[in-house]
Structure 1
Amino acid sequence: MNGLKTSALALGLAAGFASFGTDAAAQDCTTKIGAVLPTSVDWGKPIAATAQYAVDIANEAGGVAGCQIEMVLRDTQVDPKVGVDAAKALVDLDGVQLLLGAVSSGVSMPILTSVTVPAGVMQMSCCSSSTAFTRLAEEGKTNGLFYRTFATSGVQAAVGAMVAQDAGYKSVAVFYKNDDWGQDIGGLVADDLKALGIDVTASIAINDGQASFRAEVTEALKGNPEAIYMALYPKEGTQVVREWISLGGSQNMIAANALKSDEFRDNVGMQYLANFTGTDTASPRTDSASAFVDAYTAKFDGPPNGPGLANSYDATMIALMAMHAAGKDATGADIAAKVASITDPNGTPVTADAAGFTMAKEVLDGGGTVSYQGATGNVQFDKNGDVSAPAVTWTFSESGIEEQKYISLTEVNDFMASLN
């Protein structure tokens, strides 16, 4: 990144905190927004902290529609029932018109269908990738209330298949979590592997709450696959890998980003992860993405290496800018309708910091539109509320996560087109 631009953005962020505090203090109204995120798991806490970070920046920049924002956070425990109960409380008791979350598609979907759409509340997810949301939008069942800053499962599935092809694997067994997300990405990756001529020896569903997955692992071993692909979360992933290794399975492993977790690495052990490759969507190599990394590192004393952090930041910032454009006492539908004015490719470019938030408000108040340049780049949604994204492969090291390869948006799209 250009050092001068980085410095300018960093100074803008610092100046934003210094100059907007008086305005924030002078305000005497507060608007609540809701957040349903998995704070009881290690990888969920930073996602929630990043959303709060974006709220703090908006408040330092004078708030939204003349009021300070209070983010009321409730833990989903990555459990659909808990998530729905949390969302209902935020909508019915706290009266929120904007809901951030959830993370798992299996939690976001029931919240969308049973809480936010019936209540007319806008839902913005940082980290739900199931293509089922796209189908729901195409059928007109989201009422335009759902957006997400994370690319669909199709990207990671394709890159998982790419990893298998590049490694020369001829056969792969697929383990997937038995929920909306796992079923979606598990089916997609199986199709992509087959399109490349790679034998899918088994597709095994993994259910919550089992004491052991020995039966499932034994079934997968029957096909003697060269590698396994995992669309699992750390708890189930750890159990599956332990059983897999103990029963003589190969250490050739490919996984979706849900296993991008110190918990998983530490509980499995680095000695068994030498041939492990993870996939994830990525921020583009742009000045705005680099500026976010610098600002985040300064704020949290470390880079944003966990899953969904850049996406959480952009989801929150875009939603809050749309909330400002919609005005005080806006409904969820009002807020959702203003998202296009925040991500207009022909709008005034605004940075993802306090200075950029202030500029966005000025432009929007004057009747203009803005082009948000964020942690994941120049965000643009399609008619279904979806985004596309570049990708990366990564692996574990003793110190954390190491990127192996960056795959540009053009490369991702070209490879996905070749599969079809």
Structure 2
Amino acid sequence: MTLLRHLAGGMGVAVGLTLMAGSALAQDCTTKIGTVLPTSVDWGRPIAETAQFAVDQVNAAGGAGGCKIEMVLRDTQVDPKVGVDAAKALVDLEGVKVLLGAVSSGVSMPILTSVTVPGGVMQMSCCSSSTAFTNLAEEGKTEGLWFRTFATTAVQSAMGAKIAQDKGYGSVAILYKNDDWGQDMARLIAADFEAVGVAVTASVAINDGQPSYRAEVTEALGTQPDALYLALYPAEGTAAVREWISLGGTQKMILANSLKSDEFRENVGLQYLGETVGTDTASPRSESADAFRAAYVERFESEPNGPGLGNSYDATMIALLAMEAAGKDASGADIAAAVRKVTDPNGTAITADTAGFTTAKEVLAGGGTVMYQGATGNVRFDANGDVSAPAVIWSFTESGTEEVEYLSLDEVDSFIASLN
């Protein structure tokens, strides 16, 4: 999407002159932001590309905090040690004050506790959902430096229980990734299944890098459940489901959004996924979400159907808006404090694009606040840096996924309340 096309559809020639002037000024300095994402897996690359898309739009508006923004990207490989090493390099060597990422809660947590909080760096995750972050924030251990644009595991867990209830499953076995995220999911989903009267016959941990998961799958299968719930990532998820199917397991499966993956669908085989459905958080049915979709399609010539894309865009945009509000040479703590100024429900509404960022510059320079309206709607963080979100139930198709059911934020909150 070119700058001229933005201007033609938005704020006109006057803004065009402002943007070109701002862009020229921003060339005099560059500010780096760090990004730690799993670019070595198929669903991780689009998340990183979407973050870069937001950076490009901000640079077209003259950058943030008076400087052009350079996004320095490092691959986490969905590995905590690799992720921590990458984050340390970005903070210690590159000097970043903002870190975007990670995806897996099991990677984000050690980065938060051993790198960003000790280093006074703001961390904004697009996709980590463990409730352990909420607990840490409530204890004051995130020091106000942690935010995420993805709703907690409580939303996906509740939707998994809703699927089991709606389909009339009497019993479910659980296979979960043995990390912070997977353990959190397993704990929550077991409680939610129980709340809707679905028995959990087994809850089995899956570790990374094993040559076979036959023992774990056999344990779950031996309990003869009506369905299988999977809180895994594509690599171990593919291996576990292949074992499950080969041993005669049911195709009635419920998936967390981590398996909303072309890699998983293709490697397992669509013919074995006919009765499988998944859950995910969703963008609201709003003008800002529609605008993001249109901009994404124009930029990438494909629909933003992968997990975390809208969340990645919003995490990046909000972080850069906060950098603008905090000003040049601001500390990580200053940038984190400025997040409230750019997600203010009483602030000036701005669009999530180059023109919107330019408007935000003018409002913030005048001492005002802005209300960011992005891919996931009007983002609101609570005191713990958490957000809530609508949800979607989806199934696989030959070309990707399709929506089975959409639940509004009110419907999600109502169902979660019914579980409690």
Query: Contact 2:6–2:355 (CA<8 Å) still a contact in 1?
Result: no
Query: Contact 1:13–1:354 (CA<8 Å) still a contact in 2?
Result: no
Deviation >3 Å, runs of 4+: 7-10, 13-19
For 2:386, the equivalent position in structure 1 comes to: 386
Q: What aligned pairs does 1:1-20 form with structure 2 within 5 A after superposition? A: 11-12=9-10, 20=19
CA distance in 2, matches of 1:211, 1:38: 22
The residue identity in structure 1 corresponding to 2:321 is: M
For 1:375, the equivalent position in structure 2 comes to: 375
Measure how far apart 1:273 and its partner are.
0.3
CA distance in 2, matches of 1:314, 1:17: 24
For 2:408, the equivalent position in structure 1 comes to: 408
CA distance in 1, matches of 2:166, 2:10: 43
Q: What aligned pairs does 1:192-207 form with structure 2 within 5 A after superposition? A: 192-207=192-207
SS in 2 for 1:392: strand
For 2:283, the equivalent position in structure 1 comes to: 283
Measure how far apart 1:287 and its partner are.
0.3
| Alignment pair present for 1:327 and 2:320 | no
CA distance in 2, matches of 1:19, 1:33: 24
Q: How many residues align?
A: 414
Measure how far apart 1:20 and its partner are.
2.5
The 1:246–1:17 alpha-carbon spacing in structure 2 relative to 1, beyond 3 Å, is: farther
Measure how far apart 1:25 and its partner are.
3.4
CA distance in 2, matches of 1:357, 1:298: 19
For 1:342, the equivalent position in structure 2 comes to: 342
| Alignment pair present for 1:351 and 2:351 | yes
| Alignment pair present for 1:311 and 2:311 | yes
For 1:4, the equivalent position in structure 2 comes to: none
For 1:102, the equivalent position in structure 2 comes to: 102
Measure how far apart 1:399 and its partner are.
1.0
Measure how far apart 1:23 and its partner are.
3.1
Query: Contact 1:17–1:57 (CA<8 Å) still a contact in 2?
Result: no
The 1:402–1:14 alpha-carbon spacing in structure 2 relative to 1, beyond 3 Å, is: farther
Q: What aligned pairs does 1:52-63 form with structure 2 within 5 A after superposition? A: 52-63=52-63
The residue identity in structure 2 corresponding to 1:289 is: A
The C-alpha deviation readout for 1:229-278, integer Å capped at 9, x for no partner, is 00000001101110001101110000100001000000000110000001
Query: Contact 1:17–1:60 (CA<8 Å) still a contact in 2?
Result: no
Measure how far apart 1:17 and its partner are.
7.9
Query: Contact 2:6–2:354 (CA<8 Å) still a contact in 1?
Result: no
| Structure 1 stretch displaced more, 11-20 or 267-276 | 11-20
Measure how far apart 1:14 and its partner are.
9.8
Measure how far apart 1:149 and its partner are.
0.1
SS in 2 for 1:395: strand
CA distance in 2, matches of 1:223, 1:190: 15
Measure how far apart 1:8 and its partner are.
9.0
For 1:235, the equivalent position in structure 2 comes to: 235
Gaps of 5+ in 1: 1-6
Instruction: Report the TM-score, using the length of structure 1 for normalisation.
Output: 0.96
SS in 2 for 1:250: coil
The C-alpha deviation readout for 1:135-190, integer Å capped at 9, x for no partner, is 00000000000000000000000000000100100000011000000000111011
CA distance in 2, matches of 1:386, 1:155: 12
The residue identity in structure 2 corresponding to 1:142 is: T
The 1:130–1:17 alpha-carbon spacing in structure 2 relative to 1, beyond 3 Å, is: farther
Gaps of 5+ in 2: none
The C-alpha deviation readout for 1:257-314, integer Å capped at 9, x for no partner, is 0001000000000110000001000000000000000000000001100000000000
The 1:108–1:134 alpha-carbon spacing in structure 2 relative to 1, beyond 3 Å, is: same
For 2:48, the equivalent position in structure 1 comes to: 48
Measure how far apart 1:21 and its partner are.
4.2
CA distance in 2, matches of 1:330, 1:220: 52
Query: Contact 1:101–1:126 (CA<8 Å) still a contact in 2?
Result: yes
CA distance in 1, matches of 2:343, 2:60: 22
Measure how far apart 1:127 and its partner are.
0.3
For 1:25, the equivalent position in structure 2 comes to: 24
